[in-house]
């Protein structure tokens, strides 16, 4: 099977699982967060912040560096597994240790309790990392989707929602957290079993140098993505809950629709090697596909944030609407950076990724320092500016390495940008009753869709670049679109 066919198969499998996961996540989030309030969700948000950084430290970058082809070396796998498990155990002890001072500092005993109850989950990171890396290396994204999406479908929509409706409050999230981890480990090990034999974790590894570089990038990614939460966490659980609700809703299309493609892009680009022309075509095709997802999505949420928040979470979460709107534009840059970072890392340019991430982090810390005591809206704008700086630096590096001209970038992005403008136009007025607004808004969306179809037919070359046409031509439904538009 050719690399192109395997990559396209991975795309289909990954996005099938992604669509299911997005639907399940939205359904579970709506039901759970409607039962809870910003204070309780914010308390659990501290757990997410802590375990987010611990997971990256524990993984040490091996989840990606092992893709380079070290799975036939049993000694390598044993040492890597031992290192990850050692840090998993240390991480668990650290979470226990800081739970008491954290509760005292935040004056919130619930946060301390959740830290202690969530601590053992650090051990599951070690058991899943090796299996996931092996599946990535073999482009078996269908199996990864079954492990992650299957576990999620049971954990949150079933266990989490049932417990939330049963009155268990924030502990429904903790229970779902554990069920997700356990099932993910079991399914991942079923598809890609590996020896659980331990070795001396302090012996050198062949995948270690790249792992440290990837780990550095991942930690910077976490810092960029979560510095806002760290700053706002100092304002209390309620503020963190509203911020997390806005950030989670804003990032859902990016993380689930784009991050899956990021994994495929990294693996495929690694397999291509130094063929810059093939990498250029790959990147522009993926950039076109993602842009047609994120530009219209975030263009719409930018001007319809209040309506989206009311529909998804309910009126008690309306304080999150303004920051959700402010974050929307930044999420476009965030989404495209996921792709740019993957292609640069896969082609050996980790230094540029680190540089762009560091610049982004510095801009973000400076912006948050100025805005944290002003308004959450300005916090969202500061994050947006930082994400845009990062994307600009990465695009410049990709253009130089791949020989991509400004004209090619503009040809790829102008269609999605114009679609975003159409989607952002507010056609209806938002009233007090959400049920009264939804039918009118759906009709407005249908009319916008018809207008866009007409524009696609009349001006196909304006909306679709050569890269997007090439990508469409590789799918049966895409070929029908190309034929219909007469491109």
Radius of gyration of the chain (CA): 22
For 70-91, b/e burial (b = at least 16 CB within 10 A) is: bbeeeebbbbbbbbbbebbeeb
Condensed to tens digits (0 to 9), the pLDDT of residues 28-64 reads 777 888 888 888 888 888 998 888 888 888 877 666 6
* 98, pLDDT greater than 60: yes
* 66, pLDDT greater than 70: no
Query: What is the Cα–Cα distance from 79 to 208, expressed in whole angstroms?
Result: 10
Query: What is the Cα–Cα distance from 334 to 259, expressed in whole angstroms?
Result: 11
Its pTM stands at 0.76
Condensed to tens digits (0 to 9), the pLDDT of residues 437-479 reads 788 888 888 999 899 888 888 888 888 877 677 666 666 666 6
Query: What is the Cα–Cα distance from 95 to 113, expressed in whole angstroms?
Result: 11
SS3 304: coil
Query: What is the Cα–Cα distance from 359 to 340, expressed in whole angstroms?
Result: 15
Query: What is the Cα–Cα distance from 385 to 487, expressed in whole angstroms?
Result: 37
Q: How far apart are the first and last CA of the chain?
A: 29
Would you state the pLDDT for residue 369? 93
Longest dimension (CA), the chain: 66
- Of 382, 345, 166, nearest in space to 266 by CA: 345
Query: What is the Cα–Cα distance from 194 to 205, expressed in whole angstroms?
Result: 17
Condensed to tens digits (0 to 9), the pLDDT of residues 116-138 reads 999 998 888 878 877 777 777 77
Comparing 83-92, 175-184, 280-289, the range with the smallest average pLDDT is: 280-289
Condensed to tens digits (0 to 9), the pLDDT of residues 304-362 reads 888 888 888 888 888 888 899 999 889 999 888 888 887 787 777 778 888 898 999 99
Residue predicted with more confidence, 423 or 8: 423
Half-sphere exposure of 20 (CA within 13 A, CB side): 17
Would you state the pLDDT for residue 398? 84
Residue predicted with more confidence, 334 or 271: 334
Give CA angle at 367 (220, 325), nearest 5°.
Answer: 90
Domain spans, the chain: 1-206, 235-447
- Of 325, 422, 425, nearest in space to 381 by CA: 325
Condensed to tens digits (0 to 9), the pLDDT of residues 394-418 reads 988 888 877 788 888 888 888 889 9
What is the pLDDT confidence band of residue 113, given thresholds at 50, 70 and 90?
very high
Condensed to tens digits (0 to 9), the pLDDT of residues 146-179 reads 887 788 888 888 898 889 888 888 899 899 989 9
Average pLDDT, the chain: 80
For the beta carbon of residue 212, count every other beta carbon within 10 angstroms: 15
| Contacting residues for 400 by C-beta, under 8 A, at least 6 apart | none
């Amino acid at each position: 099977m050719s690399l192109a066919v395997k990559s396209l198969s991975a795309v289909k499998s990954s996005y099938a699982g992604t669509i299911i996961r997005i639907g399940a996540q939205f359904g579970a989030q709506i039901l759970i967060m409607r039962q809870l309030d910003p204070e309780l969700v914010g308390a659990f948000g501290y757990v997410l912040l802590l375990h987010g950084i611990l997971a990256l430290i524990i993984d040490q970058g091996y989840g990606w560096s092992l893709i380079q082809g070290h799975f036939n070396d049993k000694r390598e796998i044993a040492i890597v597994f031992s290192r990850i498990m050692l840090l998993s155990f240390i991480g668990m002890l650290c979470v226990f240790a800081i739970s008491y001072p954290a509760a005292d500092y935040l004056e919130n005993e619930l946060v301390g309790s959740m830290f202690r109850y969530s601590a053992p989950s650090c051990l599951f990171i070690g058991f899943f990392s090796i299996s996931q890396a092996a599946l990535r290396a073999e482009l078996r994204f269908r199996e990864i989707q079954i492990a992650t999406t299957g576990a999620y479908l049971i954990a949150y929509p079933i266990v989490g929602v049932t417990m939330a409706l049963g009155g268990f409050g924030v502990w429904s999230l903790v229970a779902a957290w554990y069920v997700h981890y356990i099932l993910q480990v079991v399914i991942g090990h079923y598809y890609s079993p590996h020896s659980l034999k331990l070795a001396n974790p302090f012996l050198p590894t062949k995948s270690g140098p790249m792992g440290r570089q990837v780990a550095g990038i991942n930690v910077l990614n976490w810092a960029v993505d979560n510095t806002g939460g760290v700053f706002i966490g100092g304002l209390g659980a309620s503020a963190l809950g509203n911020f997390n609700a806005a950030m989670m809703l804003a990032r859902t299309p990016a993380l689930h629709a784009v991050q899956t493609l990021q994994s495929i892009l990294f693996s495929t680009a690694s397999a291509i090697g130094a063929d810059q022309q093939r990498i250029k075509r790959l990147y522009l095709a993926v950039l076109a596909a993602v842009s047609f997802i994120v530009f219209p999505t975030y263009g719409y949420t930018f001007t319809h944030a209040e309506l989206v928040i009311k529909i998804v979470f309910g009126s008690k979460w309306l304080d999150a609407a303004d920051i959700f709107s402010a974050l929307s534009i930044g999420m476009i840059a965030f989404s495209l950076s996921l792709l740019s970072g993957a292609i640069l890392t896969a082609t050996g340019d980790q230094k540029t990724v680190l540089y762009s991430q560091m610049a982004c982090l510095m801009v973000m810390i400076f912006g948050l320092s100025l805005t944290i005591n002003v308004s959450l809206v300005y916090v969202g704008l500061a994050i947006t500016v930082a994400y845009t700086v990062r994307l600009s630096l990465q695009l410049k590096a990709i253009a130089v390495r791949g020989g991509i001209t400004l004209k090619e970038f503009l040809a790829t992005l102008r269609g999605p940008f114009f679609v975003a403008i159409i989607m952002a136009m507010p056609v209806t007025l938002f009233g007090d009753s959400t049920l009264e607004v939804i039918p009118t808004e759906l009709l407005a969306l249908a009319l916008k869709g018809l207008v866009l179809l007409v524009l696609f037919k009349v001006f196909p070359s304006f909306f679709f670049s050569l890269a997007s046409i090439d990508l469409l031509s590789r799918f049966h439904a895409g070929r029908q679109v190309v034929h219909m538009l007469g491109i």
